[in-house]
Structure 1
Amino acid sequence: MTDGFTIRSIEAYCYRYPLAAPVVTSFGRMLNRPAVFVRAVDEDGVEGWGEAWSNFPAPGAEHRARLVNEVLAPGLVGLKFDGPVHAFEALTKGTEVLALQCGEPGPFAQAISGIDLALWDLSARRRRLPLWRLLGGQSNKIKVYASGINPDGAAQTAEAALERGHRALKLKVGFGPETDLANLTALRRIVSAGMLACDANQGWSVTQAIEMLPRLAEFDLRWLEEPIRADRPREEWRRVRLLAKMPIAAGENISSLEAFEDVLAEDILGVVQPDIGKWGGLSVCTPLARDIRTSSKTFCPHYLGGGLGLLASAHLLAGVGGDGWLEVDVNDNPLRDLYCGPVLNVRDGMVELDQEPGLGITPDLSRIERYRSI
């Protein structure tokens, strides 16, 4: 088959899985786990699957699904594209004014990203290549870390993750020094000399972050993620970096090439974490990930959603290579576990991707029909 394709259909499916225990961050709680899966089919009947970021706000997932189904998909059906990048550029440029008019560049970028991931999966299937190899990968093995470890029951969650094969952990902080330091002490004891990172989710002021840095230094952290708000002046980020004894990480809330170019040109972030379901898809984030690597920073894809986006993130990391880790949420979520393929099988801190075309799976959505909201 040729690289080009004509789109027959694109459809988004929205799901919500109710949680017994909320997922907690420094800025709020998730009472359920949403997922917006996207299916694209071309005129030859080849299909591809993607996922749009939809965690916040609470009703956001249904909105992203409607953007795909009612706004974006009708403008693509019947059109021929040379490849996913061509479609991504057409969608982005074609909706720029509309996104500005309604004040929603974020939701549009997320919906477009979900379509983009589906078209990359479709393209890899057309080429009969695993997606990681289409993206230039030489090895199908990647490192992973257990993420989403809440302040309540952190030690138990971490121990369970290690039993499932993880060797690296990331703790959520920003809940007060006493709670944060007690949890870090417990996790450092559990993971011993292995990788331990923490994520403040933009929860501190620059003053609070600077006050915490000496107290964090004793834990030999692989990185400190988003200690302050993503939109704070670069000088504040620079102050934190100069006083930090560990690398600083961020990227999930950066949403322009210009902003990433600034990040790569300066010595503030040591770990850069774009989210392919939130902005840029694979069309933008694949070359960006290569730039991150050549800038001598560590590329670690951010992801905290359903299984299809997680699996695509794994293929991206394998595709570009490097010493980064894939983020794997360890909270209860069948919308992730049923559709992340081999990422569910962590062995000694590693995951081995399949050799099957595309993402390597065709999701059976009938298994989660009871959670469907659109």
Structure 2
Amino acid sequence: MTTDDFTIRSIEALCYRYPLATPVVTSFGRMLNRPAVFIRAVDEDGVEGWGEAWSNFPAPGAEHRARLVNEVLAPGLVGRKFDHPAQAFDILTRGTEVLALQCGEHGPFAQAISGIDLALWDLFARRRHLPLWRLLGGRASTIKVYASGINPSGAAQTAEAALKRGHRALKLKVGFGADTDLANLAALRAIAGTRMLAADANQGWSVDQALEMLPRLAEFDLRWLEEPIRADRPREEWHKLRASAKMPIAAGENIASVEGFKQVLAEDVLGVVQPDIAKWGGLSACVGLAGDILKAGKTFCPHYLGGGIGLLASAHLLAGIAGDGWLEVDTNDNPLRDLLCGPVASVKNGTIDLGEGPGLDLSPDLATIVNYRVL
């Protein structure tokens, strides 16, 4: 088991849902439960790796992505030998391009492939007896984190609870009307003091609405304003926002192509770039992308809002590329995150430490979440 070559014995997606007492709210919709699609890959030597596919929307989408893995993608990899996870990623991506085009499901295919890719990288690192962050080139296992997913209702209480849990940086959801947004920002700035505070509009404004809000946001010393307008709006609208903004603009979770990222890295528009490794690209595409973000003089902050395995993989990527960004850690109730994110659950003075265990250094105790399994 000392060679890089590995033969895939099995790949399986497991689908879970955790019902919420309090919905997670965004400017475009509400989450009434928290889904998760975890993916387990095992090689012929019995080495195991874990990944996760993005599955938040639409509401029934998690089961669909799990079946894509189990019935469409996994059969094409089982029994095949690889010496690097990127080989499997390329085979799956190229092999499903026409199928994704035929059914108009580029997103679900990309997300399912990303989850498999993360599992194979974990397996690959375990075979080499290295922590994933070190395999990716990292020099230190400690990274900064921030508390996100702070809803408009009860924002101050959520922020205070996050600080008590060890957080030192916060991100508020906005896009719920100027009065609500500004009152919440004022409350969080008072709570955070001079510490990092960001805001996320979740594509909730038109360019005119965003331009109207920008001067009103200036007083809060935001570290960034995330997705103020739709990700697919013309580039001239983004340039117009950049010219008026007193804070960096952030985006990236809804960019899903090499060409799309090349465009934003060539522009002086985004100061913070946020690819989501469970949504597009996995590690095979996003390791190089993260390095390109840093080379472009921008801040790399991996986007994440899901279960614990994808969150932990995102942490390893941030540590691996040795950037100065923050890892997004959702504050909302979710045992599918908290029970499977390893050291990310232990925030101390705004940081976490990933340690020296092999791969993700996680052996999920599925018995703790068995009641939430749906597929």
Could you tell me the TM-score, scaled by structure 2's length? 0.99
Match of 2:171 in 1: 170
CA shift for structure 1 position 57 = 0.2
Match of 1:372 in 2: 373
Structure 1 unaligned spans of 5+: none
- Whichever residue aligns with residue 100 of structure 1, its letter is L
Q: Does 1:67 align with 2:68?
A: yes
User: Matched residue of 1:132: which SS?
Assistant: helix
User: Matched residue of 1:16: which SS?
Assistant: strand
User: Matched residue of 2:170: which SS?
Assistant: strand
Alignment partners' CA distance in 1, 2:326 and 2:249: 15
Alignment partners' CA distance in 2, 1:81 and 1:196: 43
Alignment partners' CA distance in 1, 2:17 and 2:362: 21
Q: Does 1:199 align with 2:192?
A: no
CA shift for structure 1 position 317 = 0.1
Match of 2:58 in 1: 57
CA shift for structure 1 position 15 = 0.2
Alignment partners' CA distance in 2, 1:280 and 1:329: 21
Query: Deviation digits for residues 291-330 of structure 1, max 9, x if unmatched?
Result: 0001100000000000000000000000001110000001
Alignment partners' CA distance in 2, 1:52 and 1:315: 16
Map 1:99-118 → 2, pairs under 5 A? 99-118=100-119
List structure 1 runs of 4+ shifted beyond 4 angstroms: none
Alignment partners' CA distance in 2, 1:300 and 1:230: 17
Alignment partners' CA distance in 1, 2:3 and 2:151: 47
Map 1:139-158 → 2, pairs under 5 A? 139-158=140-159
Alignment partners' CA distance in 2, 1:20 and 1:226: 27
Match of 1:354 in 2: 355
- Whichever residue aligns with residue 101 of structure 1, its letter is Q
Query: Deviation digits for residues 105-149 of structure 1, max 9, x if unmatched?
Result: 000000000000000000000000000000000000000000000
Alignment partners' CA distance in 1, 2:312 and 2:260: 26
Alignment partners' CA distance in 2, 1:205 and 1:2: 53
Map 1:14-29 → 2, pairs under 5 A? 14-29=15-30
Map 1:216-235 → 2, pairs under 5 A? 216-235=217-236
User: Matched residue of 2:367: which SS?
Assistant: helix
Alignment partners' CA distance in 1, 2:154 and 2:201: 17
What value does the CA root-mean-square deviation take over the aligned residues? 0.4
CA shift for structure 1 position 357 = 0.3
CA shift for structure 1 position 250 = 0.1
Alignment partners' CA distance in 1, 2:323 and 2:38: 28
User: Matched residue of 1:193: which SS?
Assistant: coil
Map 1:296-335 → 2, pairs under 5 A? 296-335=297-336
Alignment partners' CA distance in 2, 1:366 and 1:319: 31
- Whichever residue aligns with residue 303 of structure 1, its letter is Y
Identity of aligned residues (%): 80
CA shift for structure 1 position 366 = 1.3
CA shift for structure 1 position 19 = 0.3
Query: Deviation digits for residues 207-258 of structure 1, max 9, x if unmatched?
Result: 0000000000000000000000000000000000100000000000000011
Alignment partners' CA distance in 2, 1:4 and 1:262: 35
The farther-off stretch of 202-211 and 353-362 is 353-362
Match of 1:34 in 2: 35
Match of 1:260 in 2: 261
CA shift for structure 1 position 4 = 1.8
Match of 1:336 in 2: 337
User: Matched residue of 2:34: which SS?
Assistant: strand
Q: Figure out how many residues of one structure are paired with residues of the other and give that number.
A: 374
Alignment partners' CA distance in 1, 2:93 and 2:366: 28
Query: Deviation digits for residues 14-45 of structure 1, max 9, x if unmatched?
Result: 00000000000000000000000000000111
Alignment partners' CA distance in 1, 2:206 and 2:279: 25
- Whichever residue aligns with residue 228 of structure 1, its letter is I
Structure 2 unaligned spans of 5+: none
User: Matched residue of 2:96: which SS?
Assistant: helix
- Whichever residue aligns with residue 367 of structure 1, its letter is T
Alignment partners' CA distance in 2, 1:41 and 1:360: 15
CA shift for structure 1 position 150 = 0.1
Alignment partners' CA distance in 1, 2:245 and 2:43: 50
Alignment partners' CA distance in 2, 1:15 and 1:361: 18
User: Matched residue of 2:197: which SS?
Assistant: strand
Query: Deviation digits for residues 178-218 of structure 1, max 9, x if unmatched?
Result: 00000000000000000000000000000000000000000
- Whichever residue aligns with residue 117 of structure 1, its letter is L
Alignment partners' CA distance in 1, 2:132 and 2:308: 15
- Whichever residue aligns with residue 298 of structure 1, its letter is T
Alignment partners' CA distance in 1, 2:366 and 2:68: 20
CA shift for structure 1 position 356 = 0.5
Alignment partners' CA distance in 1, 2:149 and 2:282: 22
Alignment partners' CA distance in 1, 2:240 and 2:82: 46
Alignment partners' CA distance in 2, 1:236 and 1:349: 34
Map 1:77-116 → 2, pairs under 5 A? 77-116=78-117
Alignment partners' CA distance in 2, 1:4 and 1:20: 46
